[in-house]
Structure 1
Amino acid sequence: MNRYDEVLVALRRIIRATDLHSRQLSKIAGLTAPQLLILQLLRQHTELTVGEVAQRVSLSQATVTTIIDRLEKRGFVKRERGSADKRKVYVYLTPEADAVLLNAPKPLQESFVQQYQDLHDWEQTMILSSLERVAYMMDAQHIDASPVLDVGALDRIDRDA
């Protein structure tokens, strides 16, 4: 096998692993990776606005609003106006979300981050540099992306919802 074929196989494995994890998450918890990430963030920080959530998960406010709309329809979050400043709307978890989070698998990026942080600095730099080069070679350097390992649109409609 040529080296470029080996690189393409490795990329395909990464894409496939992401796809399989996304399907497992959907099957077990009925959530997408971005939905899970937002619910976990709301569990850690009890009072956040949509804008603050968007900033912390590195997604646009419009995307996060769509995701939160879907989570609200499923009864996992609720919105409430601030008591001190009525212009601010805060997002809170519901008890239903707590129950789903108990059984949800860890996001794929969580285990990746742990293993990546265990590497030496030079290894981390080498991986980052190589992946940035691959993104450039695939003409993907201008594509907006967040640090969420998932396939498909981040604000897609759940098939089961």
Structure 2
Amino acid sequence: MSSDKTTDKAADWFRNEELRAVEKSIRRIVRANDVQSKALAKQIGLTAAQLVILKATAALGEVTTTVLSAHVDLSPATVITILDNLESRHLVERYRSRHDRRVVHTRLTPEGEALVRRAPEPMGDAFAHRLAGLDEERRNQLIAALAAIADMMAPPGGAPASAGRAKTTLSH
């Protein structure tokens, strides 16, 4: 066996081990997200996705589905389904623009505002505190790494989620 073949096998082994480590970490993240979403459902009666939409609506004010969809990185169809559920629970209300009847805006109801004020972080307060406890450079490194992984996992042909975005910093 030549030295090149041995080196190739070693390189393949490292690539496979690295890929397995990435897959394992992603599975752990997905599982933790599922557990947190179930805990939210028990605690406040909303899934993580519903809470993200509510918090985004609170942050953006009266907002269109298109803007809300881009803000939370969910498809417009998914956002509409979530808004239908939230509207049936009287947490949001939708109405047509007076200037252009084709445009539909969403805003929180007083019940939705009250729920957002008392709601925990969608990813969990413990995670939020741990992340906040890191120095700014480390937080930004983690955010960049996660964005890069999300971009690599995105379907081919689509624009990366981070395309055109300014660097996210958490120092406010």
Using the size of structure 2 for normalisation, the TM-score is: 0.62
Asked if 2 retains the 8 angstrom alpha-carbon contact of 1:54 and 1:61, the reply is: yes
- CA distance in 2: counterparts of 1:38 and 1:17, whole angstroms: 20
Q: Show the counterpart of 1:118.
A: 136
Q: Show the counterpart of 2:77.
A: 62
* Residue type of the alignment partner of 1:142: P
What is the Cα deviation at residue 115 of structure 1? 6.3
SS of 1:16's equivalent in the other structure is helix
Normalized per residue, the structure richer in helix is 2
Q: Show the counterpart of 1:142.
A: 155
* Residue type of the alignment partner of 1:80: Y
Q: 2:112 matched to 1:94?
A: no
What are structure 2's unaligned runs of at least 5 residues? 1-13, 163-172
- CA distance in 2: counterparts of 1:122 and 1:23, whole angstroms: 28
Higher relative contact order (CA 8 A, sep 6+): 1
Q: 2:40 matched to 1:46?
A: no
- CA distance in 2: counterparts of 1:51 and 1:59, whole angstroms: 10
Q: Which has the larger radius of gyration?
A: 2
- CA distance in 2: counterparts of 1:20 and 1:42, whole angstroms: 24
Instruction: Report the RMSD for the aligned CA atoms in angstroms.
Output: 3.7
Asked if 2 retains the 8 angstrom alpha-carbon contact of 1:76 and 1:96, the reply is: yes
Q: 2:119 matched to 1:104?
A: yes
Using the size of structure 1 for normalisation, the TM-score is: 0.66
* Percent identity between the two aligned chains: 33
* Residue type of the alignment partner of 1:91: T
What is the Cα deviation at residue 90 of structure 1? 0.8
User: 1:60-117 CA deviation, whole Å, 9 max, x = no partner?
Assistant: 1111111111111111111111122222111111111122222211021882765677
Work out the number of aligned pairs and report it. 140
Asked if 1 retains the 8 angstrom alpha-carbon contact of 2:131 and 2:139, the reply is: no
* Residue type of the alignment partner of 1:16: R
* Residue type of the alignment partner of 1:118: E
What are structure 1's unaligned runs of at least 5 residues? 148-161
* Residue type of the alignment partner of 1:83: R
- CA distance in 2: counterparts of 1:115 and 1:40, whole angstroms: 22
Q: After TM superposition, what 4+ stretches of structure 1 lie above 3 angstroms from structure 2? A: 6-13, 112-117, 119-132
- CA distance in 1: counterparts of 2:85 and 2:70, whole angstroms: 19
Q: Show the counterpart of 1:156.
A: none
